[in-house]
Amino acid sequence: MSDTAGETVIGVIGGSGLYDIDGLENAQWRQVESPWGAPSDAILTGVLDGVKMAFLPRHGRGHVHAPSTVPYRANIDALKRLGVTDILSVSACGSFREDMAPGDFVVVDQFIDRTFARDKSFFGTGCVGHVSLAHPTCPRLSDAAYEAAKSLGITVHMGGTYLAMEGPQFSTLAESKMYREVWGADVIGMTNMPEAKLAREAEICYASIAMITDYDSWHPDHGAVDIAQIIATLTGNAAKARDLVARMPARLGAARAPCPHGCDRALEYGIMTAPEARDPALVAKLDAVAGRILNG
Protein backbone atom coordinates (compact mmCIF):
# COMPACT_ATOMS: atom_id res chain seq x y z
CA MET A 1 0.00 0.00 0.00
CA SER A 2 1.22 3.49 -0.79
CA ASP A 3 2.47 5.74 2.01
CA THR A 4 0.73 8.70 0.38
CA ALA A 5 -1.54 10.46 2.84
CA GLY A 6 -5.24 9.97 2.25
CA GLU A 7 -8.29 11.67 3.69
CA THR A 8 -9.64 11.09 7.18
CA VAL A 9 -13.36 10.36 7.37
CA ILE A 10 -14.56 9.74 10.92
CA GLY A 11 -17.56 7.49 11.35
CA VAL A 12 -19.40 7.64 14.67
CA ILE A 13 -21.78 4.85 15.61
CA GLY A 14 -23.96 6.23 18.38
CA GLY A 15 -25.47 3.94 20.97
CA SER A 16 -28.19 4.46 23.54
CA GLY A 17 -28.48 8.16 24.31
CA LEU A 18 -26.34 9.48 21.45
CA TYR A 19 -28.41 10.28 18.38
CA ASP A 20 -26.58 13.09 16.57
CA ILE A 21 -23.40 15.20 16.35
CA ASP A 22 -23.36 18.87 17.30
CA GLY A 23 -21.82 21.55 15.10
CA LEU A 24 -21.63 19.75 11.76
CA GLU A 25 -21.21 22.01 8.73
CA ASN A 26 -23.20 21.12 5.61
CA ALA A 27 -25.09 18.54 7.66
CA GLN A 28 -27.48 16.27 5.82
CA TRP A 29 -29.12 12.92 6.47
CA ARG A 30 -28.27 10.56 3.61
CA GLN A 31 -29.86 7.27 2.66
CA VAL A 32 -27.12 4.78 1.76
CA GLU A 33 -28.04 1.61 -0.09
CA SER A 34 -26.21 -1.57 0.82
CA PRO A 35 -26.38 -5.08 -0.68
CA TRP A 36 -26.49 -6.32 2.92
CA GLY A 37 -29.88 -4.72 3.55
CA ALA A 38 -30.94 -1.38 4.96
CA PRO A 39 -28.71 0.25 7.59
CA SER A 40 -30.17 1.16 10.97
CA ASP A 41 -31.10 4.61 9.70
CA ALA A 42 -30.03 7.34 7.33
CA ILE A 43 -26.49 8.58 7.98
CA LEU A 44 -25.80 12.15 9.06
CA THR A 45 -22.83 13.53 7.10
CA GLY A 46 -20.99 16.82 7.30
CA VAL A 47 -17.71 18.47 8.19
CA LEU A 48 -16.38 19.28 11.67
CA ASP A 49 -13.18 21.30 12.08
CA GLY A 50 -12.21 20.56 8.50
CA VAL A 51 -12.67 16.78 8.81
CA LYS A 52 -15.45 14.81 7.15
CA MET A 53 -17.81 13.04 9.55
CA ALA A 54 -20.53 10.41 9.23
CA PHE A 55 -22.88 9.62 12.10
CA LEU A 56 -25.04 6.50 12.26
CA PRO A 57 -27.50 5.92 15.13
CA ARG A 58 -27.01 2.22 15.83
CA HIS A 59 -30.55 1.63 17.06
CA GLY A 60 -32.11 4.14 14.64
CA ARG A 61 -33.62 7.46 15.63
CA GLY A 62 -36.27 6.73 18.21
CA HIS A 63 -34.43 3.54 19.26
CA VAL A 64 -36.29 1.10 17.01
CA HIS A 65 -33.69 -1.69 16.65
CA ALA A 66 -33.05 -4.20 19.44
CA PRO A 67 -29.41 -5.29 19.94
CA SER A 68 -30.04 -8.60 18.16
CA THR A 69 -31.72 -7.00 15.15
CA VAL A 70 -29.31 -4.13 14.48
CA PRO A 71 -28.24 -4.62 10.83
CA TYR A 72 -24.54 -4.71 11.66
CA ARG A 73 -23.31 -5.76 8.20
CA ALA A 74 -25.35 -3.11 6.42
CA ASN A 75 -24.15 -0.46 8.88
CA ILE A 76 -20.45 -1.16 8.37
CA ASP A 77 -20.85 -1.57 4.62
CA ALA A 78 -22.71 1.75 4.35
CA LEU A 79 -20.00 3.57 6.31
CA LYS A 80 -17.35 2.03 4.07
CA ARG A 81 -19.25 3.25 1.01
CA LEU A 82 -19.11 6.78 2.43
CA GLY A 83 -15.33 6.52 2.66
CA VAL A 84 -15.14 6.17 6.44
CA THR A 85 -11.59 5.38 7.57
CA ASP A 86 -12.03 5.45 11.35
CA ILE A 87 -15.04 4.30 13.39
CA LEU A 88 -15.64 5.55 16.90
CA SER A 89 -18.21 3.26 18.50
CA VAL A 90 -20.07 4.73 21.47
CA SER A 91 -22.29 2.48 23.56
CA ALA A 92 -23.84 2.12 27.00
CA CYS A 93 -22.59 -0.68 29.22
CA GLY A 94 -22.62 -2.13 32.72
CA SER A 95 -19.52 -2.40 34.90
CA PHE A 96 -17.97 -5.37 36.67
CA ARG A 97 -15.36 -3.24 38.48
CA GLU A 98 -15.86 -1.10 41.58
CA ASP A 99 -13.45 1.53 40.22
CA MET A 100 -15.27 1.71 36.88
CA ALA A 101 -18.29 3.59 38.16
CA PRO A 102 -21.51 4.78 36.52
CA GLY A 103 -20.69 7.94 34.56
CA ASP A 104 -17.14 6.77 33.76
CA PHE A 105 -15.96 5.93 30.24
CA VAL A 106 -13.85 2.91 29.27
CA VAL A 107 -11.74 2.72 26.11
CA VAL A 108 -12.27 -0.97 25.34
CA ASP A 109 -9.38 -3.01 23.94
CA GLN A 110 -10.66 -6.60 24.17
CA PHE A 111 -13.93 -8.48 23.69
CA ILE A 112 -15.54 -11.75 24.73
CA ASP A 113 -18.29 -12.51 22.23
CA ARG A 114 -21.26 -14.32 23.73
CA THR A 115 -23.75 -13.32 21.02
CA PHE A 116 -25.33 -16.12 18.98
CA ALA A 117 -28.22 -14.74 16.87
CA ARG A 118 -26.32 -12.42 14.51
CA ASP A 119 -24.53 -12.57 11.17
CA LYS A 120 -20.89 -12.11 12.11
CA SER A 121 -19.02 -11.98 8.81
CA PHE A 122 -19.24 -10.58 5.32
CA PHE A 123 -17.55 -13.73 4.02
CA GLY A 124 -18.90 -17.23 3.55
CA THR A 125 -19.40 -20.04 1.07
CA GLY A 126 -18.01 -18.91 -2.28
CA CYS A 127 -15.60 -16.37 -0.83
CA VAL A 128 -13.91 -17.39 2.39
CA GLY A 129 -11.99 -14.76 4.32
CA HIS A 130 -10.16 -14.59 7.64
CA VAL A 131 -8.84 -11.60 9.58
CA SER A 132 -6.88 -11.33 12.81
CA LEU A 133 -8.77 -10.21 15.91
CA ALA A 134 -6.03 -10.69 18.48
CA HIS A 135 -6.17 -6.93 18.97
CA PRO A 136 -9.71 -6.04 17.87
CA THR A 137 -9.47 -2.27 18.35
CA CYS A 138 -7.06 0.23 16.80
CA PRO A 139 -4.50 1.53 19.34
CA ARG A 140 -3.95 4.78 17.41
CA LEU A 141 -7.65 5.61 17.32
CA SER A 142 -8.18 4.42 20.89
CA ASP A 143 -5.35 6.64 22.14
CA ALA A 144 -6.90 9.65 20.38
CA ALA A 145 -10.27 8.96 22.03
CA TYR A 146 -8.65 8.51 25.43
CA GLU A 147 -6.76 11.78 25.17
CA ALA A 148 -9.89 13.58 24.00
CA ALA A 149 -11.82 12.27 27.01
CA LYS A 150 -9.05 13.28 29.42
CA SER A 151 -8.90 16.78 27.94
CA LEU A 152 -12.57 17.18 28.84
CA GLY A 153 -12.13 16.04 32.42
CA ILE A 154 -14.07 12.83 31.84
CA THR A 155 -13.15 9.97 34.16
CA VAL A 156 -11.87 7.53 31.55
CA HIS A 157 -10.15 4.15 31.86
CA MET A 158 -7.68 3.04 29.20
CA GLY A 159 -8.21 -0.61 28.36
CA GLY A 160 -10.91 -3.04 29.36
CA THR A 161 -12.55 -6.29 28.28
CA TYR A 162 -16.11 -5.95 26.99
CA LEU A 163 -18.40 -8.97 27.38
CA ALA A 164 -20.89 -8.87 24.50
CA MET A 165 -24.12 -10.63 25.48
CA GLU A 166 -27.08 -11.33 23.23
CA GLY A 167 -29.77 -9.60 25.29
CA PRO A 168 -32.20 -7.96 25.28
CA GLN A 169 -32.58 -9.06 28.92
CA PHE A 170 -29.88 -8.10 31.39
CA SER A 171 -27.72 -10.72 33.12
CA THR A 172 -28.80 -13.07 35.86
CA LEU A 173 -26.84 -12.72 39.09
CA ALA A 174 -25.05 -16.02 38.39
CA GLU A 175 -24.03 -14.86 34.90
CA SER A 176 -22.86 -11.50 36.20
CA LYS A 177 -20.67 -13.15 38.83
CA MET A 178 -19.21 -15.59 36.29
CA TYR A 179 -18.35 -12.87 33.78
CA ARG A 180 -16.70 -10.82 36.52
CA GLU A 181 -15.02 -13.40 38.76
CA VAL A 182 -14.22 -16.28 36.40
CA TRP A 183 -13.84 -14.70 32.98
CA GLY A 184 -12.32 -11.42 34.11
CA ALA A 185 -14.50 -9.11 32.01
CA ASP A 186 -14.57 -5.43 32.93
CA VAL A 187 -17.77 -4.19 31.26
CA ILE A 188 -20.82 -5.75 29.63
CA GLY A 189 -22.93 -4.62 26.69
CA MET A 190 -25.02 -5.94 23.82
CA THR A 191 -23.83 -4.18 20.65
CA ASN A 192 -20.06 -4.14 20.04
CA MET A 193 -20.12 -7.62 18.55
CA PRO A 194 -20.14 -8.39 15.69
CA GLU A 195 -19.61 -4.68 14.95
CA ALA A 196 -15.88 -4.77 15.76
CA LYS A 197 -15.37 -7.96 13.74
CA LEU A 198 -17.09 -6.51 10.69
CA ALA A 199 -15.12 -3.27 10.90
CA ARG A 200 -11.90 -5.28 10.82
CA GLU A 201 -13.12 -7.25 7.79
CA ALA A 202 -13.94 -3.94 6.10
CA GLU A 203 -10.43 -2.65 6.87
CA ILE A 204 -11.71 0.25 8.96
CA CYS A 205 -9.94 1.33 12.16
CA TYR A 206 -12.29 0.81 15.12
CA ALA A 207 -12.29 2.16 18.66
CA SER A 208 -14.91 1.48 21.32
CA ILE A 209 -15.98 3.93 24.02
CA ALA A 210 -18.09 2.20 26.66
CA MET A 211 -20.18 4.61 28.73
CA ILE A 212 -20.94 3.03 32.10
CA THR A 213 -24.53 3.31 33.30
CA ASP A 214 -24.71 0.71 36.10
CA TYR A 215 -22.97 -2.10 37.98
CA ASP A 216 -24.90 -4.91 36.29
CA SER A 217 -26.28 -7.26 38.98
CA TRP A 218 -23.14 -8.46 40.80
CA HIS A 219 -22.72 -5.45 43.10
CA PRO A 220 -23.95 -6.14 46.66
CA ASP A 221 -25.07 -2.51 47.14
CA HIS A 222 -27.06 -2.36 43.92
CA GLY A 223 -28.39 -5.87 43.41
CA ALA A 224 -30.15 -5.42 40.09
CA VAL A 225 -30.08 -3.13 37.11
CA ASP A 226 -32.29 -0.09 37.76
CA ILE A 227 -33.72 1.04 34.42
CA ALA A 228 -34.66 4.50 35.71
CA GLN A 229 -31.12 5.07 37.00
CA ILE A 230 -29.67 3.86 33.71
CA ILE A 231 -31.72 6.41 31.78
CA ALA A 232 -30.63 9.21 34.11
CA THR A 233 -26.96 8.27 33.74
CA LEU A 234 -27.38 7.90 29.97
CA THR A 235 -28.42 11.53 29.70
CA GLY A 236 -25.25 12.73 31.40
CA ASN A 237 -23.05 10.32 29.44
CA ALA A 238 -24.54 11.43 26.11
CA ALA A 239 -23.53 15.04 26.76
CA LYS A 240 -19.98 13.91 27.54
CA ALA A 241 -19.92 11.72 24.43
CA ARG A 242 -20.96 14.60 22.17
CA ASP A 243 -18.12 16.69 23.59
CA LEU A 244 -15.65 13.83 23.08
CA VAL A 245 -16.74 13.35 19.46
CA ALA A 246 -16.27 17.07 18.85
CA ARG A 247 -12.61 16.77 19.90
CA MET A 248 -11.80 13.88 17.55
CA PRO A 249 -11.28 15.83 14.27
CA ALA A 250 -8.54 17.95 15.84
CA ARG A 251 -6.90 14.82 17.27
CA LEU A 252 -6.90 12.91 13.98
CA GLY A 253 -6.53 15.68 11.39
CA ALA A 254 -7.85 15.83 7.84
CA ALA A 255 -4.85 14.08 6.24
CA ARG A 256 -4.49 10.39 6.99
CA ALA A 257 -1.46 8.14 6.67
CA PRO A 258 -1.80 4.34 6.56
CA CYS A 259 -2.70 2.87 9.95
CA PRO A 260 0.54 1.94 11.77
CA HIS A 261 -1.20 -1.15 13.17
CA GLY A 262 -2.44 -2.43 9.81
CA CYS A 263 -6.19 -2.13 10.42
CA ASP A 264 -6.64 -0.72 6.91
CA ARG A 265 -4.76 -3.69 5.45
CA ALA A 266 -6.44 -6.46 7.46
CA LEU A 267 -7.47 -8.39 4.33
CA GLU A 268 -4.04 -8.29 2.69
CA TYR A 269 -3.69 -12.08 2.82
CA GLY A 270 -7.11 -12.91 4.24
CA ILE A 271 -9.16 -14.12 1.26
CA MET A 272 -8.59 -17.84 0.86
CA THR A 273 -10.88 -18.82 -2.02
CA ALA A 274 -9.14 -19.08 -5.39
CA PRO A 275 -10.30 -16.44 -7.90
CA GLU A 276 -11.80 -19.02 -10.26
CA ALA A 277 -13.80 -20.61 -7.42
CA ARG A 278 -15.34 -17.44 -6.04
CA ASP A 279 -19.11 -16.94 -6.10
CA PRO A 280 -19.74 -13.94 -8.39
CA ALA A 281 -22.86 -12.92 -6.46
CA LEU A 282 -21.00 -12.79 -3.14
CA VAL A 283 -18.03 -11.05 -4.72
CA ALA A 284 -20.40 -8.39 -6.05
CA LYS A 285 -21.79 -7.82 -2.53
CA LEU A 286 -18.23 -7.41 -1.25
CA ASP A 287 -17.39 -4.57 -3.64
CA ALA A 288 -17.10 -1.93 -0.89
CA VAL A 289 -15.85 -4.09 1.96
CA ALA A 290 -13.18 -6.07 0.09
CA GLY A 291 -12.92 -4.38 -3.28
CA ARG A 292 -9.32 -3.30 -2.59
CA ILE A 293 -8.30 -6.97 -2.64
CA LEU A 294 -10.87 -8.55 -4.92
CA ASN A 295 -10.44 -5.94 -7.67
CA GLY A 296 -6.72 -5.44 -7.15
Binding residue positions for substrate: 190, 214-216
Residues annotated in a binding site: 16, 58-59, 91-92, 190-191, 214-216
Q: Catalytic: which of 77, 186, 214, 264?
A: 214
214 is catalytic: yes
Residues annotated in a binding site for phosphate: 16, 58-59, 91-92, 191
Q: Catalytic: which of 86, 216, 243, 287?
A: 216
DSSP assignment string, the chain: -----EE-EEEEEE-TT----TT-EEEEEE----TT---SS-EEEEEETTEEEEEEETTTTTT---TTT--HHHHHHHHHHTT--EEEEEEEEEESSTTS-TT-EEEE-EEEE---SS---S-BTTB-B----SS-S-HHHHHHHHHHHHHTT--EEE--EEEE---SSPPPHHHHHIIIIIS---EEESSSTTHHHHHHHTT-EEEEEEEEEE-TTT-TTT-S--HHHHHHHHHHHHHHHHHHHHHHHHHH-SEEPPPTT-GGGTTTTTB-S-GGGS-HHHHHHTTTTSHHHHT-
Q: Tell me the catalytic residues.
A: 214, 216
